[in-house]
Amino acid sequence: MTIRRASELPKPTEAELAILGVLWERGSGTVRDVHEALYANDGGGYTTALKLMQVMHAKGLVERDDSQRAHVFRAVVSKERTQKRFLSDIVDRVFDGSASQLVLHALGSQSASREELKEIRQLLNRLDRESK
């Protein structure tokens, strides 16, 4: 038996991430659900989605309920955890390990609403207090 801690799950590939996105949004879904949400428009085949999801299941990224004829899939990794993981990766690899460099870039080059700015400021205040 192989036990694998969550942190050792492989990093999702690009196509896998798109599928996880659908599962996170819906909570769960069949291959058909995912195919229609992602591939139906741009001509991707049904079996392509199926194969990807089989691979993801083999990797442990998704779990599968096969009590129904159309198996129902569900993400094993949470969205938050995955976001954090990609974030650390990018901080290490292109921002020399400095998260605040990344924050400065992100704030500078992308748009944020006043609502979001307010939220960020509140978090900033809290961090300031905690690091006193």
Partner DNA sequence: CCCGCTCAACGAATGACTTCGTACAGCATG
Partner DNA sequence: CATGCTGTACGAAGTCATTCGTTGAGCGGG
**Torsions phi, psi of 49, nearest 5?**
-60, -45
Shortest distance in whole angstroms from residue 90 CB to DNA: 15
In the bound state with DNA, the residue whose beta carbon lies nearer, of 47 and 101, is 47
Residue 39 beta carbon to a second copy: minimum distance, rounded to whole angstroms: 16
Contact 73, 64 (CB under 8 A): yes
Q: Is 63 in the site for DNA (CB under 7 A)?
A: no
Phi, psi dihedral angles at 53 (to 5 degrees): -70, -30
Q: What residues contact residue 87 under an 8 Å CB cut-off, 6+ apart?
A: 99, 102
The DSSP output letter for 113 is -
Binding partner selected for residue 111 from DNA, a second copy, none, CB under the kind-specific 5 to 8 Å limit: a second copy
Going by their DSSP bridges, the two strands 72-75 and 62-65 should be labelled as antiparallel
User: What does 104 interact with, of a second copy, DNA, none (CB < 5 to 8 A by kind)?
Assistant: a second copy
Q: Any contact of residue 28 with DNA (CB under 7 A)?
A: no
Residues that bind a second copy (CB under 8 A): 14, 17-18, 79-80, 82-84, 86-88, 90-91, 93-95, 98-114, 116-117, 119-121, 123-124, 127-128, 131
